[in-house]
């Protein structure tokens, strides 16, 4: 249970961090969507470990294989299976964690729920599970681009107390990918990189915030009450490893404003379309997209597995100390960017298909 996401565009991820491989089965993808393996691989390369000096040194090429659902470069409308084989697992690094629970990790809760856990790399709680999401997200992006040039761009907004100055209305993918920390503010990016390296050398970790913008969306995506668009976006984002917070539009800052200050006033543009002067709603009102850019933020905690010695308890109930081995990101933010984009794409394509199934509009 809990391994499947979506309604009409459904994904099921599989595999463990130190197993034979990880991947995804996608069901509900429309037929005749042009799929280039290079497009999927490009997204996985943005997510893969070992890509820079500030990410985990685990060396995985994360080469993807499409095993079904695509023929002669087009989707068939049948289930698509994508597999990435694990190549550089070092399970011996986790021997101590077979009996000791890592503070703030999933070890203790998985043991409590199932009575058994894969302690080698964390099993399903590892961020390697997100390979399937990112691969599926690449296909979702293709559908969204084909539908109406819908564009999704995520970037690192803040790491610890360092916050970049970024305009979500104008930020480009090239700006995001111009540095290894994926912050479009180059001056702040350099400070972020220095901070991550310092914290890593201390055997510690730090967290931060990823901001994401979705542009060129049609009006009408989302449903009232339980299937509000921002509710599904929140679920998608909060299902990511290490995620601890979600905001859309003004978010918590909106609580400091009055209604007259916060409301997005309407006007008609040159084509007679209904628009808003401001976008404090973050592109969604009443759970339904209003045609403005969707702007959201995801908070990620510091990586739980660190080299600094910490107090913990063994599986047998004895108090002890743990200085974790293994290869881990000192900060998950740079690699979390494509993960956030993928979850946004998966939610939006699912709601796009649901809208077309429910309503007669173009």
Predicted local confidence at residue 126, as pLDDT: 86
CB burial of 89-123 (b: ≥16 within 10 Å; e: otherwise) equals beeebbebbeebbbbebbbbebeeeeeebbbbbbb
Read off the pLDDT of residues 169-223 as tens digits, 9 standing for 90 and up. 999 999 999 999 999 999 999 999 999 999 999 999 999 999 999 999 999 999 9
CATH of the domain at 264: 3.60.150.10
| Residue 38 to residue 41: CA distance in whole angstroms | 5
> pLDDT digits over 277-328, tens only?
999 999 999 999 999 999 999 999 999 988 899 899 998 899 999 887 767 8
pTM: 0.95
Provide the residue range defining the domain that includes 186: 4-358
Residue with tokens 């649901």: 354
Interval 53-93: pLDDT, tens: 898 777 778 899 999 999 999 999 999 999 999 886 666 66
Distance of alpha carbon 67 from alpha carbon 218, whole angstroms: 33
Radius of gyration from C-alpha coordinates of the chain: 21
156 pLDDT above the threshold of 70: yes
The pLDDT value given to residue 96: 79
Quick: pLDDT tens for 128-148. Answer: 999 999 999 999 999 999 988
Give the number of domains in the chain. Answer: 1
């Amino acid at each position: 249970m809990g391994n499947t996401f979506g309604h009409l565009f459904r994904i099921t991820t599989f595999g463990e961090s130190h197993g034979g491989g990880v991947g995804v089965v996608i069901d509900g993808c429309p037929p005749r969507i042009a799929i280039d393996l290079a497009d999927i691989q490009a997204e996985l390369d943005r997510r893969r470990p070992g890509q820079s000096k500030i990410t985990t040194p685990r060396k995985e090429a994360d080469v993807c294989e499409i095993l079904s659902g695509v023929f002669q470069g087009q989707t068939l409308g049948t289930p698509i299976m994508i597999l990435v084989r694990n190549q550089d697992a070092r399970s011996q690094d986790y021997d101590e964690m077979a009996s000791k629970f890592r503070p703030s990790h999933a070890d203790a809760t998985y043991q409590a729920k199932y009575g058994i856990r894969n302690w080698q790399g964390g099993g399903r709680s590892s961020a390697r599970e997100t390979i399937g999401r990112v691969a599926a997200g690449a296909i979702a992006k293709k559908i969204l681009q084909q539908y109406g040039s819908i564009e999704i761009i995520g970037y690192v907004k803040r790491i610890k107390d360092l916050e970049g100055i970024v305009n979500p209305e104008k930020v480009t993918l090239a700006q995001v990918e111009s540095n290894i920390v994926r912050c479009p503010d180059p001056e702040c990016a350099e400070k972020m990189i220095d901070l991550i390296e310092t914290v890593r050398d201390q055997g510690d970790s730090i967290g931060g915030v990823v901001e994401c913008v979705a542009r060129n969306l049609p009006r009408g995506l989302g449903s009232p009450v339980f299937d509000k668009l921002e509710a599904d976006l929140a679920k998608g984002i909060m299902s990511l490893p290490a995620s601890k917070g979600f905001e859309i539009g003004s978010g918590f800052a909106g609580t400091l404003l009055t209604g007259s200050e916060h409301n997005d006033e309407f006007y008609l543009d040159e084509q007679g379309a209904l628009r808003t002067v401001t976008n404090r709603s973050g592109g969604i009102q009443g759970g339904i997209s209003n045609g403005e850019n969707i702007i959201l933020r995801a908070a990620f905690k510091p990586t739980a597995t660190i080299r600094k010695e910490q107090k913990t308890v063994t599986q047998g109930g004895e108090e002890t100390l743990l200085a974790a081995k293994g290869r881990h990101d000192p900060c998950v933010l740079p690699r979390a960017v494509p993960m956030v984009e993928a979850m946004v794409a998966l939610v939006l394509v699912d709601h796009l298909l649901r809208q077309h199934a429910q309503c007669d509009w173009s």
